[in-house]
Chain A
Amino acid sequence: MDLEKFWLFYEPDSILRRINIKKQPDKRGYFGQYGGRFVPETLMSALRELEVIYLSVKKDRLFQKEFKALQATYIGRPTPLYFAKRFTDHLGGAKIYLKREDLAHTGAHKINNALGQALLAKKMGKTRLIAETGAGQHGVATATSAALVGLKCEIYMGTEDMHRQALNVFRMRLLGANVVEVPIGSKTLKDAINEALRDWTTNVRTTHYVLGTVFGPHPFPVMVRDFQSVIGKEARRQILKAEGRLPDYLIACVGGGSNAIGLFHEFMDSDIKMIGVEAGGRGIGTGEHAARFIGGSIGVFQGCRSYLLQDNDGNIVGTHSVSAGLDYASVGPEHSFLRDMGRIQYTYATDNEALAAFELLSRMEGISPALESAHAIAEAMKLAPGLPCDKTIIINLSGRGDKDVQQVARIKGIEV
């Protein structure tokens, strides 16, 4: 079935939708049946403390004022909403707008959350930040925020990701962070999260764990969503100004899912179609992918209940994606919930499709997207040509592709 027909036949349970979507998560951190707080006892009090502080700063005018000022003068918000005219003309269908998170300080949306949490940590009296990183963008954002706020910083990163993202490793070190190599397990993001959680368990009294996506134990999924929802708030204003109406489609890539939730959240109560794009890797049939909704099932992993790539015995299986930021075995619990509710449709793009999108956007618009964001571009390349030209699409261009240039050259067999 092609996509247009899919939407035609697709009627989400609107009653459930009205009751639930806006009210999530509940007090225990559940989005429907997903989420929760599955961590060792040592961390339970710290999570509660974080939740209390977080709820209090939400209403704290002084904190919000300081944060807003930094968003404007340090991160460079609002980021532009750019009409990609040549890309639109080339595809010959719906109008395509890019939300330029790649222009945020440090080159990706990750700073929205990292800076927010760094300020929180400072308020809690913590002296040290730790974080996991896959693509390196969240690590760079955390290292940057630590430097700004004046906290010590340690970043956990899998060996394989350090290899794929050597440039970002050096950047983090330049920013004064200590990058800790994680050579165990699959040597990617999930192993870095395990190590970060172990560090946090050990140093919980002095350390705040800056989790980088809408994942993990409550309150991380909701807190990170709130820090990222600035993306959608701006995009709504900007598209109203540019088009005089709301868009028809929103597209974002989904690793843990923070850039997607960040864009989508503000539009939740509209009828706009939302598409999350997972990493199809070498193809679903090969088993080498990170498409949790197509290849996974429900489980509990790294602090919450969500969709998960696991084997029959409940062990986590290896994943693959050309983009380190999407190469993860599970997905934010709110995404699982919104998928069950039929509010967001999930699809995937393969490594090759993402690489083609990376190149096409570079040539058409002079914008090289991060390989993560290139998955969202790839979906637009499939969708836009089949839509009439009075429809509009906003793609979250969540990060810039500079960090991936070496990797793309390597794949193409070119020595840089």
Chain B
Amino acid sequence: MEEKKKRKKKKNHIPFRLNILFLIIFLAFSALILRLGVVQIVHGEDYERKLEATNKVVTKVESVRGLIRDRNGTLLVGNKAEQAIVFTRKPDQDTQDLLDIAKKLSQYITVSTNKKVPDGALSTEQVTERDKKDFWLALHPDKAKAMLSAKEQNSKKAYNLMLDRITDRDLATLTTADLKVAAIWRKLVTASNLTPTYVKIGLTDKELATVGEHLKEFDGSIDTAVAATRSYPEGEMFFLGNVKEIPRHEVNNYLAEGYNRNDIVGTSNLEQQYENILRGVPTTYTFMTKNGKPVGNPIKEEGRRGDDLVLTIDSRLQKAVGTVIEKNLRKFHSTHANSAYAVIIDPNTGEILAMVGRAFDPSTGKIVDDSSGTVLKAFQIGSSIKGATILTGYQNHAIPGLFDDKPIKFSKDGKPFKSLEAIPTVGPAEALEYSSNVYMGRVVGNMAGFRFYDHGSYYSVQVFNGPRFVHAFNALREGYSQFGLGVSTGIDLPFESIGYEGPLPLDSPGIIMQFAIGQYDTYTPLQMAQYVSTIANGGKRLAPHLLKTVNEPSGDPTQVGPVKYRYEPKILNTIANTKEQIDMVHKGFYLVTQGPHGTARMLGALNAHNRSYKIAGKTGTAQVNTDRGLDNLAFIGYAPYDNPKVAVALIVPETHDNHANLYIAQDIFDVYNKLYPGQLK
């Protein structure tokens, strides 16, 4: 009986604990219903909206790119319509399906093996190393699998491992025929679902007919259409830039901005710089999907063609300057003139009128266009820098009074620092007229705290490399940068060179004198143009620019549409000099061409009878190779001297002293005067 009672007692714990269990279960289920209420009733609308968003597929088709014209409305970059093959990827097509399509297509269209093909054409040269590997893996799925162990096949890195393990020998098995298929295939695989993608642009009539006959074989994936490619009616000019497929390493940036993987985008210079304007608004197609498959007709949202650019460039001047440079290079080729670069700019607005470079190609002996050198190549510009040196000297209160131009000796037997010809007593303007090196040496010597001693026929100088020297060196460089020398000019191109900066010469402080006469740092012709403009316009450093206006597309393709945006002159800084100081340099530059001893009298005093306007400027000769006697011959100048309308910067690098710079400068001003009659008076 007692045992039974105990048993009963033992048994009794079960219902109690089951009730506890039941309570826990009740609470758990209540929590579920509560949470369900939050998700479905409180946030139901939000989730519904999110769900709707996932049930849409938006595809984009790029609109026609904007045109580019020069300042006179001449078309520089246009679009031409060409026959093309369009591929539209379906959601259920896999790599192998695409391979089949590529193989079939390769029978109907030609694929070039040349490196350079027109935009939109296919070439086996477009197939990159990575493309080859991807293609090989698609071609040999079984062999690819065999490269991995069972464990590796399931790893996330399986594909990368396969890529690593493909040998050059494997890739060598790809025949030219294979590569032609690969050139097509790589276009197909980058296509996004439901987005029409050009496979080949520029079909011949025969290709068009053949593909047209076989369209049925492709089950709607392949179609023919009209595509636009860029055309260059006035010839290619470097600053226009290129359009190309999005570079592989930048794909993600472009995807983030709403591009498709295989869109054509501006990849250099103006096409890249003004991509947003030229691109326009793509046409979008919104498909509704049901279980991941598109249903019904897409909603079309019409895009807008890109806006047009009108440039500051005058293509007539651009061409004419090219012609005069070529003429002079031929003329002076015997005296080692191999290349020349010139920038013509409006000093009051920063509008670039022409940027021209020409060079002999040593392999062919022919002159080729090297106009990009005006922003990409940098040179020592010799004495043409002296205007900036004088003004920097003023800023640092280092301009000496009148003094005699005599050689400066650093040591008894060393090579003295002297002017090219013996010059009498000079002030700042005469120092520019005569191009006095000694004067400049004295200016920066004063800045650096050097001590000069007059020995009758020469000066001796005691140099220091202390803090004052360091400060002077940096102040000189800072002074030059106020004119744009050695710094970014702010041009509207994605890339420009800013030249080479020499190290701080603590071991031989006397080098600061070379720096002061343009024989230390290097500068681009564009920087030279900004420098001369800054002096010409009275001290404002303006950003040089190629864009004049952005215009809406016009109905009539021969007309420029209404202006949407106008590039306003952009002042980057104003130099820290008084008007009197700047006028002193103007006077010096005037004397260079008009004075009795000017170094460019050829452009003024000597030719006064056949020139109706007056040029001011400064020549420069940088001794870059004393062994072979090669100098950089530079010229910067503007006209008319008292009311500058145009500024010119030019350089003929590494040539004998043949005055090629002056001949080219003279021709450029004459060409400008002919194109803009009456402007220079």
A binds B: no
